[in-house]
Amino acid sequence: MIIKDEGYVLKAQKYGEKALLVTLFTLSKGKITGFVSNGSTKKNRGLFQTGNKLFFEASSRLEENMPRLFRLELMEPNAVMMIADIKRLQLMTAAVPMMLRLLNENEETFTLYQIIGNFFHAQDFKQMLTWYAYFEFYALEYLGLGLTLDCCAVTGQTSDLAYVSPKTGKAVCREVGAPYHDRLFSYPHFIVDKNQSPSYAEIFNVLEMTEFFLKENFFKFHNLPMPESRSNFWLFKQTASAQADFENTQPIAVGF
């Protein structure tokens, strides 16, 4: 069986003298890991940098076998932009282990594919961080842990939603939640609306919320450790706060 597909490089690990095991997040198959002969040669080394978008063909004798990847072609050299910007490189290094952990093998998800593409295409650090917040939010939905944000869990009203309960994952309106605001998460307006350019404060409010639900409902449930790199996001928060860049950015077009 031979398939033709495209995907983003998430990981490349040396295997033997010249081969690589390459993990890609693909358009039609989700996350896959394949064998590339001669992948670590000087000629091919740059092809498998994290973030690069590749076209490839893959073959395997049986569907459950690890595929052999061949006829690989570089579609987008996204890694070059990361290497040229230390902040984006640090962000990518922190984010990719979470992608590897949360994505299932051979399970297509077009929404997350688009989001990850936007993450690697982002023109600056803040856009990358925004798209990563989208990734964790929609990863909750992908894992069956999605939040209920369409109406207040107490009153049923759909307006003036301001908080999310950490106990239920449901929205709470401002009037009901105000007395307990220090125990609730902020409502993720920019993600729900899809058409706002968030401040750093909004981005980190979402990341605080998604970290909590992923840790409690996925990592602890499956007895898995959360990647250590996830804690680096709070270092980014300190950097972002020091820049005092909280409001004045152009809207990001959400393409999914």
Sign of the torsion angle spanned by Cα atoms 30, 31, 32, 36 = positive
Burial class (CB in 10 A: 0-12, 13-18, 19+), 101: middle
Pairing of strands 171-173, 161-164: antiparallel
Q: CB of 188 within 8 A of CB of 137?
A: yes
Alpha helices in 85-221 (DSSP H): 86-102, 110-121, 125-142, 174-177, 189-193, 200-214
Tell me how far apart the alpha carbons of residues 77 and 9 are, in angstroms, rounded to a whole number. 11
Total-model pTM: 0.91
Q: Could you read off the pLDDT tens digit of each residue along the chain, which spans 256 residues?
A: 788 999 999 999 988 888 899 999 999 999 999 999 888 887 787 899 999 999 999 887 766 678 889 899 999 999 998 988 999 999 999 999 999 999 999 999 999 999 999 999 998 999 999 999 999 999 999 999 999 999 999 999 999 999 999 999 999 999 999 999 999 999 999 999 996 689 999 999 999 999 999 999 999 999 999 999 999 998 888 777 656 444 444 445 555 5
Number of Cβ within 10 Å of residue 62's Cβ equals: 6
Tell me how far apart the alpha carbons of residues 92 and 129 are, in angstroms, rounded to a whole number. 9
DSSP assignment of 61-72 equals SSTTSPPEEEEE
Residue 29 corresponds to which tokens in the numbers above?
């198959």
Closest CA to 169 of 181, 187, 155: 187
Residue 250 has a pLDDT of: 46
Q: End-to-end distance of the chain based on CA atoms, in angstroms?
A: 31
Q: In what order do the strands lie in the sheet with 171-173?
A: 171-173, 161-164, 185-186
Number of Cβ within 10 Å of residue 100's Cβ equals: 15
Q: CB of 151 within 8 A of CB of 160?
A: no
Residues composing the chain: 256
What structural domains and CATH numbers belong to the chain? 2-80 (2.40.50.140), 85-149+188-243 (no CATH)
DSSP summary character for residue 44: T
Q: CB of 158 within 8 A of CB of 182?
A: no
Residue 52 has a pLDDT of: 96
Tell me how far apart the alpha carbons of residues 76 and 53 are, in angstroms, rounded to a whole number. 5
